[in-house]
């Protein structure tokens, strides 16, 4: 009996026919664990991706241009947290994760902060996921986490001071056709629509009867259009403030004149712009016809512009917006080309006048309305055309244009003839100035 049992045991030990089942059974444990790990981690990756996308949407959306936080930041006078932004970020995150299930959100931490001219939103989250297979190896819960951060530059607040040349030379026809129409209809072939109050048949009234468009007419409509552009461009209702000045209503009251005091009411500024008109004179040779006093006007406008700030609502940037044909007519012993035996000066703008303003940190934007040639006018040909690099300027070598460009801050100079559209040029220069402010700020 014992011999038979011993033989049976030896046969069992040496029998290899059932080994595959044993090996398979032993191998199943790690195999199932590996497959389970892949499934659980795949679920975790997918859910975390959904939550991360929700966090990205929340950080970007909470500081978008139309968001409550972005608008609130514009009214803040100091740096700090923006509570409406935190609420908005939370709502955006929850809305974007609403369709996702199978996890537990354990924390959500949104922050929205204004610092100087930048708004930053940060959204962090953590969540847990119950595993289906990893519990076999003691991992019953997976932790998911992520962070998203977005920043936005706030639009800067800017005060624009418009200095508009309304001297008699702005009564010249706006286009060569307008100039020719005046020449054809005046006995002395004069292209200037002089606003002489003592002459009942003055050329200013004649220009209106003939339907001639003068430089001042174009400047008036262009300035009105500028206010519409500013209104359409601003993000905040009081982001841009405007002030409008000219060289005086008449030769007898020559000097810087305020047409509109600095204000954020762009509609009121537009109404004031509609009243821009040519300077009047009381007869020929009043004030010796010296009606473009750059050396007096620039120091005066410099005194009107307060110190520029950083671009916040409490401390706006400052821009001088100068529109002119660029030729002075004044009493100036330092003139580039003085009249013989006289202190009367007709010459291109002295860029040093602009440098004084720019040195304070004020940006100067210049729109040069090209001084069109007046070949039938002896005065123009003798005193102005040489600066236009005649004989029938203007030309690329025009000293008038060069000095006007030197007056402008880098990148803020436009030259445009009326036929090219002063309104378009003014609007383009305004937008360029706003873009420059954003880069500089």
- Which structure tokens are listed for 89? 């970020």
pLDDT value of residue 105? 96
pLDDT category of residue 371 using cuts at 50, 70 and 90: confident
Local confidence band at 114 (pLDDT 50, 70, 90 cut-offs)? very high
* Structure token digits, residue 286: 């009043």
Encode pLDDT of 392-406 as tens digits. Answer: 445 567 888 899 999
DSSP 25-93: HHHHHHHHHHHHHHHHHHHHHHHHHHHHHHHHHHHHHTTSTTSHHHHHHHT-SS-EE-HHHHHHHHHHH
pLDDT by residue (tens digit) across 5-32? 566 556 655 555 555 545 544 445 565 5
Map 80-100 to HEC letters.
EECHHHHHHHHHHHHHHHCCC
Average pLDDT (248-265) is: 91
The rounded distance, in Å, linking the Cα atoms of 441 and 439 is 5
Residue 62's pLDDT is what?
Answer: 95
Q: Both tokens of residue 10?
A: 């030896």
> For position 109, what pLDDT does the model report?
97
pLDDT class for 418, splitting at 50, 70, 90? low
- The strand ranges marked E within 233-307 are 240-246, 257-263
In tens, the pLDDT along 176-197 reads 788 888 888 877 777 666 666 6
**Residue given tokens 């010459």 in the structure block:** 347
Which pTM does this prediction carry? Answer: 0.73
Output phi, psi for 316, to 5 deg: -70, 160
Instruction: Decide if 312 contacts 155 (C-beta within 8 A).
Output: no
Cα–Cα distance measured from residue 366 to residue 406, given in angstroms and rounded to the nearest whole number: 9
What is the distance between the alpha carbons of residues 351 and 208, in angstroms, rounded to a whole number?
35
Token output for 135? 């519990």
Given a cut of 90, whether residue 250 has pLDDT beyond it is: no
Between 197 and 163, residue with greater pLDDT: 163
Strands 257-263 and 240-246: antiparallel
Mean residue pLDDT across the chain: 84
CB 382 within 8 A of CB 375: no
Q: What angle do CA 428, 433, 436 make, to 5 degrees?
A: 125
Compare 27 and 380 and report the one with higher pLDDT: 380
Tokens 């401390």 locate to: 315
Q: What number is the average pLDDT over the span 254-264?
A: 95
**DSSP letter assigned to residue 195:** -
Q: Given pLDDT bands bounded at 50, 70 and 90, which one contains residue 282?
A: confident
d(CA 165, CA 167): 6
143-154 per-position pLDDT tens digit: 999 999 999 888
44 pLDDT more than 60: yes
**CA–CA dist 364, 408 (Å, integer):** 5
Phi/psi for 351 (5° steps) reads -60, -20
- Can you say how many angstroms the Cα of residue 140 is from the centroid of all Cα atoms in its chain? 55
- pLDDT value at 137 more than 90: no
Tell me how long the chain is.
Answer: 441
What whole-number distance in Å separates Cα of residue 170 and Cα of residue 397?
Answer: 22
Which of 388, 325, 386 lies closest to 174, judged by CA?
325
Per-residue pLDDT of 292-350, as tens digits, reads: 899 999 999 999 999 999 888 888 999 999 999 888 888 887 776 666 667 788 888 99
Query: What is residue 122's predicted lDDT score, i.e. its pLDDT?
Result: 97
> Tell me, what's the pLDDT at 23?
53
Q: Which residue has the tokens 């004030």?
A: 287
Assess contact for 167 and 270: CB atoms under 8 A: no
User: Cα separation of 385 and 372, whole Å?
Assistant: 10
Cis, bond preceding 391 (omega within 30 deg of 0): yes
Residue 102 has pLDDT above 70, yes or no: yes
Mean local confidence (pLDDT), 39-62:
92
CATH numbers and ranges of domains, the chain: 33-153 (no CATH), 158-440 (3.40.50.410)
């Amino acid at each position: 009996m014992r011999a038979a049992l011993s033989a049976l045991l030896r046969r069992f030990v040496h029998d290899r026919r059932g080994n595959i089942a044993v090996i398979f059974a032993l191998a199943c444990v790690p195999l199932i664990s590996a497959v389970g790990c892949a499934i659980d981690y795949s679920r975790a990756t997918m859910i975390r991706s959904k939550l991360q996308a929700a966090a990205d949407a929340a950080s970007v959306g909470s500081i978008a241009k139309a968001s409550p936080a972005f608008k609130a930041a514009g009214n803040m006078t100091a740096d700090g947290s923006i509570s409406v932004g935190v609420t908005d970020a939370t709502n955006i995150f929850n809305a974007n994760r609403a369709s996702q299930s199978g996890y537990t959100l354990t924390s959500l931490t949104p922050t929205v902060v204004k610092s100087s001219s930048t708004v930053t939103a940060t959204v962090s989250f953590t969540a847990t996921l119950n595993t289906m297979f990893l519990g076999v190896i003691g991992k019953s819960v997976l932790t998911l986490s992520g962070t998203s951060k977005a920043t936005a530059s706030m639009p800067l607040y800017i005060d624009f001071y418009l200095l508009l040349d309304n001297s008699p030379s702005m009564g010249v026809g706006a286009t060569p056709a307008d100039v020719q129409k005046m020449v054809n209809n005046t006995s002395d072939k004069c292209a200037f629509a002089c606003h002489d109050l003592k002459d009942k048949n003055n050329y200013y009234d004649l220009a209106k009867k003939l339907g001639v468009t003068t430089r001042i007419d174009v400047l008036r409509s262009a300035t009105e259009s500028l206010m519409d552009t500013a209104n359409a461009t601003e993000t905040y209702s009081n982001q841009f403030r405007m002030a409008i000045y000219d060289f005086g209503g008449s030769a007898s009251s020559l000097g810087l004149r305020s047409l509109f005091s600095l204000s954020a009411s762009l509609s009121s500024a537009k109404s004031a712009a509609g009243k821009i008109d040519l300077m009047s004179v009381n007869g020929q040779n009043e004030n010796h016809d010296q009606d473009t006093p750059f050396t007096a006007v620039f120091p005066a406008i410099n005194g009107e512009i307060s110190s520029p700030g950083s671009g916040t609502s409490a401390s706006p940037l400052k821009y001088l917006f100068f529109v002119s044909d660029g030729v002075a007519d004044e009493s100036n012993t330092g003139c580039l080309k003085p009249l013989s035996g006289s202190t009367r000066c007709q010459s291109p703008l002295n860029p040093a006048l602009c440098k004084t303003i720019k040195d304070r940190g004020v940006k100067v934007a210049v729109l040069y309305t090209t001084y069109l040639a007046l070949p039938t006018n002896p005065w123009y040909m003798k005193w102005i055309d040489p600066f236009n690099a005649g004989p029938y300027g203007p030309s690329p070598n025009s000293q008038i244009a060069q000095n006007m460009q030197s007056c402008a801050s880098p990148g803020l100079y436009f030259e445009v003839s009326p036929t090219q559209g002063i309104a378009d040029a003014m609007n383009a220069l305004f937008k360029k100035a706003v873009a420059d402010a954003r880069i500089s700020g």
